[in-house]
């Protein structure tokens, strides 16, 4: 939960919620099918944190969101606080969203048109891909209000009805993806549900396929890996029957749906399914021929490779990630390139190559500070680097500790 203390390790968080639930180590270990010794070592940091599938099982047993075990993010805009998630929550949970019949606009109300709104939403998507999460969060309350007004306009059955619903879907998709990225898994799901409902009304298969990505993001953030896999597979099968074979936008969306489903399979430790979905995405990337950014997917051969590496890390194949992870990502959207550097740094740290891991983290932080300082995997990696290189007064170890303080990995 926010406020528990971002300096706590995953093991310390497990211990905190175990004690709050009133479980002994023996009881909790038995409930998840592990030994008491295993849990004791996890909680005290004598063993590396569990894989994500086991963390999801622990979160279900302890009845807390998965993000609470990982460590909720604290949104920062460089040196300025810019964290208005409560305003985003208010925009999503206003009573006016419950019934258009009860709260619909007056007949004379001036409602927005979709074209100008599209420009604002596109700018917010650019901020997201550029790693400027604070700017996205700051823009979302007004954008979500406007999306509601577009839905009101669509209810009047005007000529631009489909465009209104499509723009609402894109806005809620952005909200869901951003909220999942910063650890707000509960309202991420709410935004994703709104995105898909609006996409249904748009009658545009690409809008619905794009919105389905937001659903997979929200389900993954909530540790619901089977559900994310089901949604991805269902959306992929449906989209394949709805679009022309060589439409690059459709290829990109279908490819990204396969990649998100592959991540879900990997986090459920289902290597064969993950490998099959990666092959399907790779075939689509080959058909596309290059790295593109249709519908803000960043899809292409490089993104498939980045997902393959991330999936191998989820499957504990650290040596593979270390061996193949040094690739050029400078041309990719910053959200993707920084996410890769974080994964690569994690693998390097686990392989005992602390200097290289810290170099990757520093590069990532210079590129997109918010993405790095918001990431629980970064905090775990920095704690590991401190253990590998205790503070002795040397400049390198001091730099690690200073960065750990910036990222709230330590007090």
Higher pLDDT, 4 or 378: 378
CB 216, CB 196: distance < 8 Å: no
Helix, strand, or coil (residue 19): helix
Q: For 368, which DSSP code?
A: -
Among 47-51, 78-82, 180-184, 328-332, name the one with the lowest average pLDDT: 78-82
Report how far residue 329's alpha carbon sits from residue 306's, in angstroms, rounded to the nearest whole number.
Answer: 9
Tokens of residue 273, six digits: 């399914």
**Both structure tokens of 337:** 């390139």
pLDDT band at 106 (very low <50, low <70, confident <90, very high): low
Whole-number pLDDT of residue 6: 58
Mention every residue, 6+ apart, whose C-beta is less than 8 A from residue 241. none
How far apart, in whole angstroms, are the C-alpha atoms of residue 49 and residue 54? Answer: 9
Dihedral of alpha carbons 222, 223, 225, 227, sign = negative
CATH topology assigned to domain 10-68 = 434 Repressor (Amino-terminal Domain) (1.10.260)
- Report whether pLDDT(410) > 90: no
* CA–CA distance, 284 with 7 (Å, rounded to integer): 42
Whether the pLDDT of residue 8 is over 80: the answer is no
Q: What is the dihedral of CA 39, 45, 48, 50, to 10 degrees?
A: 40
What pLDDT score does 107 carry? Answer: 60
Taking the C-alpha atoms of residue 125 and residue 334, their distance in angstroms, rounded to an integer, is 12
Distance CA 258, CA 287 (A): 15
What was the pLDDT predicted at 337?
95
Question: Cα dist. 340→3, 224, 318, 325, 389 in Å?
Answer: 28, 23, 14, 8, 24
Decide: 253 and 217 in contact? Cβ < 8 Å.
no
Q: Strand pairing partners for 80? A: 77
CA dist 66 and 76 (Å) reads: 21
CB 200 within 8 A of CB 208: yes
CA 228 – CA 172 distance, rounded (Å): 18
């Amino acid at each position: 939960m926010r406020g528990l203390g971002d300096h706590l390790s995953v093991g310390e968080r497990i211990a905190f919620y175990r004690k709050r639930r009133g479980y002994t180590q023996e009881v909790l270990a038995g409930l998840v099918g592990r030994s008491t010794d295993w849990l004791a070592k996890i909680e005290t940091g004598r063993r590396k944190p569990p894989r994500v599938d086991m963390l999801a099982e622990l979160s279900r047993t302890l009845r807390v969101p998965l993000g609470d075990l990982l460590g909720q993010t604290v949104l920062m805009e460089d040196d300025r606080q810019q964290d208005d998630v409560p305003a985003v929550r208010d925009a999503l949970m206003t009573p006016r969203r419950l019934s258009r019949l009860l709260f619909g606009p007056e007949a004379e109300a001036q409602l927005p048109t979709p074209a100008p709104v599209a420009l604002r939403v596109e700018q917010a998507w650019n901020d997201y891909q550029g790693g400027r999460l604070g700017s996205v969060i700051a823009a979302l309350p007004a954008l979500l209000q406007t999306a509601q007004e577009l839905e009101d306009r669509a209810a009047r059955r005007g000529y631009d009805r489909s465009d209104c619903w499509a723009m609402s879907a894109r806005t809620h998709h952005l909200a869901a993806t951003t909220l999942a990225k910063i650890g707000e898994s509960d309202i991420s799901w709410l935004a994703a549900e709104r995105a898909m409902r609006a996409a249904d009304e748009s009658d545009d298969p690409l809008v619905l396929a794009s919105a389905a990505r937001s659903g997979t993001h929200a389900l993954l953030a909530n540790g619901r890996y089977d559900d994310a896999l089901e949604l991805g597979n269902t959306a992929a099968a449906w989209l394949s029957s709805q679009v022309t074979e060589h439409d690059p936008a459709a290829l990109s969306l279908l490819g990204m749906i396969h990649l998100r489903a592959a991540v879900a399979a990997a986090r459920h430790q289902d290597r064969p399914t993950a490998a099959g979905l990666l092959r399907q995405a790779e075939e689509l990337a080959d058909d596309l021929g290059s790295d593109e950014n249709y519908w803000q997917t960043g899809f292409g051969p490089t993104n498939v490779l980045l997902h393959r590496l991330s999936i191998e890390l989820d499957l504990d194949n650290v040596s593979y990630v270390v061996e193949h992870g040094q690739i050029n990502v400078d041309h990719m959207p910053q959200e993707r390139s920084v996410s890769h550097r974080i994964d690569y740094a994690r693998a390097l740290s686990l392989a005992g190559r602390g200097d290289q891991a810290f170099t990757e983290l520093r590069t990532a932080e210079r590129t997109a500070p918010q993405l790095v300082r918001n990431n629980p995997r970064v905090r775990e990696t920095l704690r590991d680097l401190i253990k590998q290189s205790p503070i002795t007064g040397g400049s390198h170890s001091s730099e690690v500790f200073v960065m750990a303080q910036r990222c709230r990995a330590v007090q």
